[in-house]
Structure 1
Amino acid sequence: RLVRFEQDADAVRARLESKDGVGTTHRADVMLAADGIHSAARRQLYPDEGVPRWSRLVLYRGVTRSAPFLSGRTMVQMGNRAQKFVCYPISRAAYDEGASLTNWIACVQAGEREALKPEDWNRRAEAEAFLPRYAGWRFPGLELADLVRGADDIFEFPMVDRDPLPRWTHGRVTLLGDAAHPMYPIGSNGATQAILDARVLADQLAGTDAAGAPDALLRYEADRLPKTAQIVLANRGHGPDYVMQVFEERAPDGFAHVHDVASQQELEDIAAGYKKIVGLDIETVNAKMRGV
Structure 2
Amino acid sequence: DSGARGAAAHFVDSVTGRALPSAEGSAVIGCDGIGSVVRRQFFGDEGPPVYSGVNMWRGTTVWEPFLSGSTYLRAGWLTVGKMVIYPVRHDVDREGRQLVNWVAEVQTDQYNEQDWNRTGRLEDFFHVFADWTFDWLDVAGLIKGAEQILEYPMVDRDPLPRWTHGRVTLLGDAAHPMYPRGSNGAGQAILDARSLADCLQSHPSVDEALRAYEEQRLPATSAVVHASRSAPPDVILKAVHERTGDRPFERITDVITAEEMAALSDSYKRVAGYDRESVAS
AA matched with 1:265 = E
CA RMSD in angstroms, aligned pairs only: 2.0
User: 1:126 Cα deviation (Å)?
Assistant: 2.7
Paired AA for residue 136 in structure 1: D
- C-alpha distance in 2, partners of 1:201/1:97? 45
Which of the residues 130, 134, 145 maps onto 2:125?
130
Partner Cα distance (2:74, 2:134) in 1: 10
1:21 maps to 17
Instruction: Please say if residues 231 and 278 of structure 1, whose CA atoms lie closer than 8 Å, have aligned partners that are also in contact.
Output: yes
Q: Which residue of 2 aligns with 1:87?
A: 85
Within 5 Å, which residues of 2 pair with 1:240-255? 240-252=233-245, 253-255=247-249
Residues 81, 238 of structure 1: 8 Å contact kept: no
The whole-number CA distance in structure 1 between the counterparts of 2:271 and 2:94 is: 35
Map of 1:109 onto structure 2: 107
1:63 to 60, 63, 66: 60
Partners of 1:61 and 1:150 lie apart in 2 by 12
Unaligned runs of 5+ in 2: none
Structure 1 stretch displaced more, 12-21 or 220-229? 12-21
CA contact (8 A) 1:197 1:224 kept: yes
Deviation at 1:251, TM superposition (A): 0.9
Return the TM-score normalized by structure 1.
0.88
**Count of aligned pairs between the two proteins:** 277
The Cα of 1:197 is off from its aligned counterpart by 1.0
Q: Partner letter of residue 254 of structure 2?
A: D
Whether the 8 Å CA contact 1:54–1:116 is kept in 2: the answer is: no
Give the 5 Å matches for 1:263-274. 263-274=257-268
Q: Please state how far the C-alpha of 1:39 moved relative to its aligned partner.
A: 0.9
Match of 1:290 in 2: none
Normalised to the residue count of structure 2, the TM-score between the two structures is 0.91
Structure 1 residue identity aligned to 2:252: V
Determine if contact 1:81/1:244 at 8 Å carries over to the other structure.
no
1:142 and 2:137 aligned: yes
Please report how far the alpha carbon of residue 140 of structure 1 lies from its aligned counterpart in structure 2 after TM superposition.
3.7
1:44 is aligned to 41
Change in Cα spacing, 1:52 to 1:227, as seen in structure 2 (3 Å) is: same
Contact 1:63 1:151 in 2 (8 A): yes
Q: Sequence identity of aligned pairs in percent?
A: 44
Q: Which moved more, 1:193-202 or 1:159-168?
A: 193-202
Alpha-carbon distance in 1 for matches of 2:31, 2:229: 23
1:178 aligned counterpart, secondary structure: helix
Contact 1:72 1:95 in 2 (8 A): no
State the distance in 2 between where 1:260 and 1:194 align: 38
